Structures are given as structure tokens and as C-alpha cells.
Structure 1
Amino acid sequence: MRLWSLHPSLLDRAALVAGWREALLAQKVLAGGTRGYTRHPQLRRFQAHPAPLESIGGFLTGLQEEATARGYRFDLTRVLHPAPPASLPPIEVTAGQLAYELEHLRAKCEHRSPEHLALLPAPGDPVPAHPLLRVVPGDVEDWEVR
């Protein structure tokens, strides 16, 4: 499961589509609809949010908005609690996590969509986060599986 902390506009097509699918699975887990993945490390930040289902709904809404801007059709009716990400208390993410994810995405794009590499921030440039997230100083998050 990869719930990208990166701003959805940075994701290539494959990462955006996979991120949508994985976040829908995360929503199902948080809603108690499955017994699997309940302890997945990427869910910790949503489980710790004061409103877990609303936070994953805001996360999904952010992905859906980017998909719509690209002409894709992600079905917002699949989101249990859709909400503009800015309307929710933000989830903190470290700058180190964003840098780590950007390099992870860059490695993936080298193989599957090299044309997308030019759209990614250059090393050392600020890395925008998903609109639900607020960037704070720090290293890679402890929930990240390396």
C-alpha cells in the first residue's frame, strides 16, 4: 500500500491511479470493512487523526480533484466522507518523508514514464505535499517501510 504524501499533481498516471485504488482500500480498512491491512504502517497517520474516515475522505478528494483536472473519471461516490482537504485538520508530514517519496517516484518514473521526470521538482527544490498534509521539519517518517 502506497498512500503518497506528495501533491497529487506530481504523480504520474500509474501512481495517481494506484494511489486512488490504495486509498479506497485504506478507507475500507478504516471503516471496518475488512480484517486485512488493519496494522499497515501507512494507515497510522489516518488512524491518529481526530476524524479518520473524514481524513481519508479528504485524501481521496484531493486525488479525485487532480484526476478530474487531467480528464480522468474517479468516482467520488465511492468516497464515504468526501471533503475538501483544506476543510479538515491537517496531518503533519516531514520534509524528509516528502524527499524520500519524491526519489521513490523518480525511480519508478525512470522505468515506466520517463517523460514525467521533467515535471518533478529538481533535487533541493521544495516538494509540495498533498493538500491534506502540512509539512514539518524532520527525517523520513517512522511508519515508512524502506
Structure 2
Amino acid sequence: MRIWSLHPRQLDRAGLVACWRETLLAQAVLAGRTKGYQNHPQLVRFRADAEPLAAVGSYLSGVAAEAAARGYNFDAGRIIEPGAFSRRIPVTQGQLDYEWQHLGAKLQRRSPEDAVRWSETEPAPHPLFFVVDGPVEDWERVR
């Protein structure tokens, strides 16, 4: 499961679709609708909030907005609590930088034209997150 801290506009088509599907799975876990992935580390930041379903709903809303901007038809009706979250969640600069390099490596392998676009930009966070100083998040499984 990869729920990117990066802004969805920075993902290629495959990354955006995978992010949508995997975050829908995360939403199902948080809603108690599935028994799998209960201990997945990427759920830590949503579970830490008093309103985890609203937080993941806001995240999904951001992904759906990017998909719509690209002309894709993601079913936003699948979001349990769309746009109900009024706060932002911190993400460390180290986490954002780690994900940026991880994304760049993926793009080199599967989407060279997107890798060029990646190399010409800087990492930006998903609208749900705001950047704070710090290393890679404790929940990240660094490779």
C-alpha cells in the first residue's frame, strides 16, 4: 500500500490509479469493512487523528479532484466522508523527500516521459498535509 504524501498531480497515471485504489482500501480498513491490512504502517497518520474517516475522505477527495482534472472518471461516491475534514496533517520534509526519490525511481522504470517531468519539478505535499522539519516518518518502511 502506498498512500503518497506527495501532491497527486505529481503522480503518473499508474501511480494516481494505484493511489486511489489503495486509499479506498485504507478507508475500508478504517471503517472496519475489511480484516486485511489492519496493521499497515501507512494508516498510522490517519488513525492518529480524532476523525480518521474524515481525514482519509479528505485525502481521497484530493486524489479524485486530480483525476477529474485529467479527465479520468473516479467514482467519488465511494468516499465515505468526502470533504468533511477541516484540518491539515503534518508530514516531515524527510518523508516528502524520501517519497520524491521513491517516485522518481518508479517513473524511470515505468514512465520515462513522466520521469522527465519529475526531474524538472520539486516535491509538493498532498493538500491534506503541511510540511514540518524532520526525518523520514517512523511508520515508513525504508528500503
TM-score, normalization by structure 2: 0.95
Q: Which whole-Å CA distance do the structure 2 matches of 1:30 and 1:143 have between them?
A: 17
The answer to whether residue 134 in structure 2 is matched with residue 134 in structure 1 is no
CA RMSD, Structure 1 to Structure 2 (Å):
1.3
- Please give the per-residue CA displacement for 1:115-146, whole angstroms capped at 9, x wherever unaligned: 00122255xx7521000001001110000012
Aligned residues: 142
Aligned to 2:69: 69
| Matching residue's letter, 2:117 | L
Q: Which residue of 2 aligns with 1:99?
A: 97
Query: What is aligned with 1:88?
Result: 86
Instruction: Tell me if structure 2 keeps the 8 A contact 1:95–1:135.
Output: yes
Alignment partner, residue 11 of structure 1: 11
- CA distance in structure 2 between the partners assigned to 1:139 and 1:119 by the alignment: 26
TM-score under structure 1 length normalisation: 0.93
Q: Structure 2: how far apart are the matches of 1:88 and 1:44?
A: 19
Aligned residue identity for 2:94: G
Unaligned segments of structure 2, at least 5 residues: none
Aligned identity (percent) is 54
Aligned to 2:78: 78
**Paired residue type of 2:81:** H
Separation in 2, partners of 1:71, 1:126: 24
Q: Which runs of 5+ in 1 are unaligned?
A: none
